[in-house]
A = this chain, B = another copy of it.
Amino acid sequence: GKKVLIVYAHQEPKSFNGSLLKIAVEELTKQGCSVTVSDLYAMQFEPRATRNDIVGRLHNSEAFNYGVETWEAYKRGGLSRDVVEEQKKVQEADLLIFQFPLFWFNMPAILKGWMDRVLVQGFAYDLSKAYDGGLLQGKLSLFSFTTGGSQEMYSKGSISGDIRYVLWPMQHGIMHFCGVKVLEPHICYAPENVSEEKRKEMLTAWTQRLKTLWKEEPIDCSPEWYFK
């Protein structure tokens, strides 16, 4: 069976995001996948990139450079335990699913901190190993999120612009940069502002999509997809 890591960033299990997580765990497990969940708020995951991420002596203690220090620490096995554990989960996964509510046209800080701290140089990319040559080649990713605004607000020509504009930094700038292929995002628009019936339809649609997920082709993660 395939291995899936779900990185989940919502405080409340009874939330709509919580329901989407539950569906993914159940459906993928039913398919025979091995599913791991990093429940960031429950783990009280540290989002701040600090000196604490390096165990032992610094490469250059005169002037702290997070990028250089984590790269050096990665090479000698000196990253903090919470980061190493997340890297192990990423290493083993065939598919990474990110489940979160969109906060300010982006992921919540706790999830951004996961990206900042886990995907360090040497592990996820290297000097000349980025984009299609990124070190996490062979893996798939999927951004699944809820919004506050409606689908109409997130369309080209509307005030909030095409929803794809906000996907560029996440899908291209992070996942593609690390060599990870990107499946179509799964977006539930404004679940708090629709009827209970519509919410149920959204949950059903997620279950249905997951049933044939492994047959999907990744998107063409190029500027044309985002800004055409």
Interface residues of A, Cβ cutoff 8 Å to B: 11-12, 14-15, 41, 44, 47-51, 62-67, 103-110, 112-113, 115-116, 119, 131, 148, 156-157, 159-161, 165-166, 168-170, 172-174, 177, 192, 223, 226-227
Contacts and interface: CB of A to CB of B under 8 A. Distances in A.
Nearest to A174: B104
A48 B48 CA distance: 10
A124 to B, nearest CB: 10
Given A15-B63, A63-B15, A169 B104 contact: yes
Contact of A165 (B11, B62, B148, B165): B165
B166 A169 contact: yes
Nearest to A14: B63
A63 B12 contact: yes
17 contacts: A11-B49, A47-B47, A47-B109, A47-B110, A47-B113, A104-B115, A104-B173, A106-B106, A106-B173, A107-B112, A108-B112, A108-B116, A109-B109, A109-B116, A113-B113, A161-B168, A168-B168
A84 B27 CA distance: 43
B12 A64 contact: yes
Contacts of A50: 11, 41
Contacts of A172: 105, 161
A72 to B, nearest CB: 15
Given A106-B106, A110-B113, A160-B173, 13 more contacts: A41-B48, A47-B48, A48-B110, A49-B109, A67-B148, A106-B112, A106-B173, A109-B109, A109-B110, A109-B113, A156-B223, A165-B227, A166-B173
Contacts of A106: 106, 112, 169, 173
Nearest to A223: B161
Nearest to A157: B223
Contacts of A44: 48
A105 B173 contact: yes
B41 A11 contact: no
Given A14-B63, A131-B159, A105 B174 contact: yes
Nearest to A148: B67
